[in-house]
Amino acid sequence: MTVDAALTSFLDWLAAERRASPATITAYRHDIATFLGFLTRHLGAAPDRAALGALTAADFRAWLAERAAEGVTNATRARGLAALRSFYRFLARNGGPDCPAIRLIATPRARVPAPRALSRIDAETLAAEAGTLADEPWIAARDAALVLLLYGCGLRAAEALGLTRRDAPLPGGSASLRVRGKGSKERDVPVLPVVREAIGDYIRLCPHPLAPDAPLFRGVRGGPLNDRLLRLALARARAALGLPDHASPHALRHSFATHLLQAGADLRAIQELLGHASLSTTQRYTAVDEAQVMAVWQRAHPRAAGTG
């Protein structure tokens, strides 16, 4: 079987056996074809199966280096290396060749962008005004409750939308909110009185039956509110209030963490409140804080602009 035929078989296997998405198959086809084109230039001839098995770690690193020189991001190069590893595993199970050298190559590390939080003023404006933007009072109350949950408790959108009526933290209560996050990991989150009041107002005004185990937040017709509708509600609020483009449900969670950090909260405590499995994930917020400090310094310090 030729290399081209092997690639076709591999892509067919991805679609039929692994049920990979069309986008993944297209990306893997491009990545492997790019690699084979590089090898043709690098080796002086189109590679056959034997040549694929004889490659060294230096050959793979040369390909990654060429891609980097072309301006390809680390994330895209990491995906290309993942495609090649999968292709080689497929070849090894189907008559070879195997190429141990590819297992020696470190995956390029994608730079994780710092979370984009709202300013305190923008977050407070959204929290205060979210309940004034819908014509239907119960929808306005729902939107206000959701914004306050996301910003006041640091919930992910899916966590807030996954709450049932039984979960709802009500006015006068003091118990923490039990949240089920990623990997079904549970955590307890304290709830501010203003958040409890907003949820109580929403429940009182909601025209749809709210059985104890039914979803707490509902759409116009009574079905469970979904992420798309939540994003649309935030987009309308963003336009009405003149908020920045990144004012999204997840930006409210970022704002919760960033503003706590700015107020002196312990990083470990923020990790627990957010439900991060690793402290390194939470540490991204220190980059946000440092960036904001530098921005203030640039604006305010008389020597920052090289004058004085």
* Residue 10, Cβ density class (10 Å: 0-12 exposed, 13-18 middle, ≥19 buried): buried
DSSP string, 9-26: HHHHHHHHTS---HHHHH
Query: How many CB atoms neighbour CB 203 within 10 A?
Result: 18
Q: For residues 9 and 15, what is the distance between their CA atoms, to the nearest angstrom?
A: 10
Distances from the Cα of 201 to the Cα of 17, 32, 147, 177, angstroms: 50, 56, 14, 18
Helix or strand (DSSP H, E) at 183: none
For the chain, report the end-to-end CA distance as a whole number of angstroms: 73
Contact call for residues 244 and 122 (beta carbons, < 8 A) = yes
The residues annotated as belonging to the active site are: 156, 182, 250, 253, 276, 285
